[in-house]
Chains A and B, each alone.
Chain A
Amino acid sequence: MIKQRRSSLIVVLFLAVAVLAAPLAARAETPTFTVGWSVYAGWNPYFYMQKSGILKKWADKYGIAIKVQRFDYAASLDSFVSKNIDACTMTNMEALDMPAAAGVDSTAIIVGDYSNGNDAVLVRNNLNFATLPGKPIMLVQKTVSEYLLERGMVLNGQQAQLRSLKLINTSDSDIVAAFLNNKGNQAVVTWKPLVSQILGDRSVHSIFDSSKIPGEILDLLVVRTELLNTPNGQKFAKAITGAWYETIQQVVAGQANAIKYSAAASGDSVDSYKEQLKTTALFSSPKAAVDFTTSPALQQKMNLVRQFCFQHGLLGQGIKSVDDVAILYPNGAVQGRKDRIRFRFNAAYMQAAQQGKL
């Protein structure tokens, strides 16, 4: 009896050891990096990058392995913050309020594009910014949608009315059905391709979109700074940057496969994807991206974003000042407290691509 119990105990212990040891044993020889991306016109090319073999070519050049994985947007950020993936696509706003505000020092190595009309404020009944307060507005709260709405209010002189906006937090997966199915819904803020679907209803029209605030909603590839400071991390940054510009040039040139696979990445038709690209300001050449990232205008735009994040409590409960989550720019300028840099723009890899040094 006792013997039996002892032997079962040994089995349990053995299993526990095996389970704990498995991840250690499974660690591969070549350093492997994982990039998370989510569905968006400016990020779909990551899907093509992998399918076409461009990514493998660049990874092999640096003797590393890179995997790209598609996520739900929120889940990709969760994984990045919990350090399950090494790099992730995100907007400048989320880069600030997710990893940076959670104390994960992050660096944007690729500034891929900015939304140039992809995000829009749509209304029924000829509402405008003056008549919007008090009407229910459907949107995914605390995202660039809310930022866009506030910017629209401010630019149309309705800043004083900001507090009387009546927001209804609506999941992006249901927002089209929920808005279109009831004529009582007056306003909605969302992004493409959802915008295009909603505009299919003739009674709805757009009163504001991100082309009026160019460069404020940026789409980035963000890497953990800690990783970037290791030799392997730098190889990774070089490989992914090289692969990105090779990919994006094919997309911009309208190479058939590049468009086809990028559209397929989100289940869109080629036509719909081309339509989305029109309102996405892609930095197709590294030079354009470097010029934008090193320009002083970026700091002004980021200032608007970080103030928004702070005012809405997105930088965390303990943050008392907007300067507590500081941003470092390529020219060495720091926005915020110098001892609390949490988010960095690094143009070095894009510059290397520009000079053909990758």
Chain B
Amino acid sequence: MTNLSPFDIQARPNRLLMQALSALVFIVCIGLYTHTSIVRHRDNPEDRIVPSGAQLMAGIKSSVLEPAEESDYIPPDNASTWELVHHSMIWTDTMASGSRFLISLALLIPCVVLAVHIGLFPIFGAVFMRFVLFFDKIVALSLLPILFIVFGIEEWSKIALIVIGVAPTMVLDTIGMVKAVPREQIVKAFTLDANNFDVAYRVVFPQILPQIINSLRLNLKPMMLFLFAGEMIAASNGLAYRIAIMRRHMGMDIIIPYVLWVALLLFLIDLSLRILNRRLHPWFQA
């Protein structure tokens, strides 16, 4: 118990202390929130800006267990919990945003494949490299009016915004990884009678895949950011749509649970990518 100074690199706190310390900042935040909420409610019992625990619970309940205003469904008296959840705000919004997110994720795959080609094949490099470098510097949000014309205001303009916003960064990142593969390895593969595609997909690609997954993990948040920007500008459903609507009459009792829900979803996607990476590439130490 001697080495417990915060500025001691050799400190060896036990497990219990470690966990207590990790919980510390969370507890401080929750405490500050509760304090603010109590103070504000003492002043105004109906305060909606910092909702109390009861208000938050009511908000969560209405977003999870009551049919959304947009839903045509009118619950029968004996509706099962599943039916209620299925038509609730949070379910319909998560499904809408989730499908946009997953489609953009799927569209990033061809971009990454293209990046491998740009990095490896000089002719591809000549055609695309400078364009990507330039395109990467365009602020995606400023393209929105053009996206509206090309893709309409429905789903595809939002998906395009996400892909255009994130793809160039990922492509450049991947090209860097490809270039970092030692030239000797590629030469060696050719001496072992590999052809061009063997080198690309059996030597280079498997090596950089764990790094690509890590790069994707870092890009999850920008993706979500672009998704939110798109949904806040024009949408008829989705997580950010709901937040934009609720903002207009201070529905913080819904907004705060939504913000935490989005954080949890992102955390889970990130976690599953991390686990996937560890399973697929146990040799890779990130």
A182 an interface residue at 8 Å Cβ cutoff?
yes
CA gap between A144 and B121 in the complex, in Å: 58
Among the 9-residue stretches A167-175, A231-239, A276-284, the one with 4 or more Cβ atoms under 8 Å from chain B is A167-175
| Shortest Cβ gap from B226 to chain A (Å) | 15
CB distance from A140 to the nearest CB of B (A): 8
User: B62, B233, B241, B251: which contacts A178 (Cβ < 8 A)?
Assistant: B233
- Contact-residue size bin, chain B (C-beta under 8 Å from the other chain): 20 to 34
Q: Pick from A103, A167, A168: contact of B44, CB below 8 A.
A: A103
A158-184 at interface with B (beta carbon < 8 Å) = 163, 166-171, 173-174, 177-178, 181-182, 184
**A142–B152 contact, CB under 8 A?**
no
Given known contacts A104-B44, A178-B153, A181-B148, A171 and B250 CB-to-CB distance under 8 angstroms: no
For the complex, is A126 an interface residue (Cβ under 8 Å from B)? no
Contact of A168 with B59 in the complex, beta carbons under 8 Å:
no
**Could you say which interface size class chain A belongs to?**
35 or more
Across the interface, B153 reaches (CB within 8 A) one of A143, A170, A314, namely A170
Give Cα A97–Cα B245 distance, bound, in whole angstroms: 13
Q: Which residues of A contact B249 (CB under 8 A)?
A: 97-98, 101, 142, 314, 316
CA distance A142 to B249 in the complex (A): 8
Chain B residue numbers with a CB within 8 Å of A74 are 247-248
Chain A contact residues, majority secondary structure? loop
- In the complex, whether A229 has a CB less than 8 A from a CB of chain B is no
Instruction: Tell me, rounded to whole Å, the shortest Cβ–Cβ distance linking B48 to chain A.
Output: 4
B133 within 8 A of A: no
B residues less than 8 Å from A136 (CB atoms) = 236
Residues in A with CB closer than 8 Å to B49 are 81-82, 102
Q: A178-B233, A318-B55 are in contact. Are A102 and B153 (CB under 8 A)?
A: no
Residue contact A317 to B234, C-beta cutoff 8 Å? no
B184 interface contact, C-beta 8 A: no
Q: Does A271 contact B (CB under 8 A)?
A: no
B254 on the A face (CB < 8 A):
yes
What is the CB-to-nearest-CB distance from A88 to chain B, in angstroms, rounded to a whole number?
14
Q: Which residues of A contact B148 (CB under 8 A)?
A: 174, 177-178, 181-182
Tell me if A185 counts as interface (CB < 8 A to partner B). yes
A65 CA / B270 CA spacing, docked (Å): 53
Q: Chain B residues near A178: list those with CB within 8 A.
A: 145, 148, 153, 233-234
Inter-chain contact A312/B235, CB cutoff 8 Å: no
**A206-231 contact mask (Cβ, 8 Å, vs B): 1 or 0:** 00000000000000000000000000
Output the least CB separation between A96 and chain B (Å). 9
Complex CA–CA separation, A312 to B249 (angstroms): 11
Q: Are A102 and B152 in touch, CB under 8 angstroms?
A: no
Interface residues of A in 46-74 (CB under 8 A from B): 74
Query: A71 CA to B144 CA in the complex, in Å?
Result: 24
A93-129 interface mask toward B, CB cutoff 8 Å, 1 = contact, 0 = none? Answer: 0000110011110000000000000000000000000
- The answer to whether A143 touches B48 (Cβ under 8 A) is no
| Least distance between B190 CB and chain A CB atoms (Å) | 52
Cβ–Cβ contact B59 & A317, under 8 A: yes
Residues of A within 8 A of B (CB): 74, 78, 81-82, 97-98, 101-104, 136, 138, 141-143, 163, 166-171, 173-174, 177-178, 181-182, 184-185, 312-314, 316-318
User: Which 4 A-B pairs give the minimum distances between C-beta atoms?
Assistant: A103-B46, A102-B48, A170-B234, A181-B149
Interface set of B (CB-CB < 8 Å, partner A): 44-49, 55, 58-59, 62, 69, 72, 144-145, 148-149, 152-153, 232-236, 241, 244-245, 247-251, 253-254
Q: Can you report 28 residue pairs joining A to B where beta carbons are below 8 Å apart? A: A74-B248, A82-B49, A101-B48, A102-B47, A102-B250, A103-B44, A104-B44, A142-B249, A167-B236, A168-B153, A168-B235, A170-B153, A171-B232, A171-B233, A171-B234, A173-B233, A174-B234, A177-B148, A178-B153, A182-B148, A182-B153, A185-B153, A312-B69, A313-B69, A314-B249, A316-B48, A317-B55, A317-B59
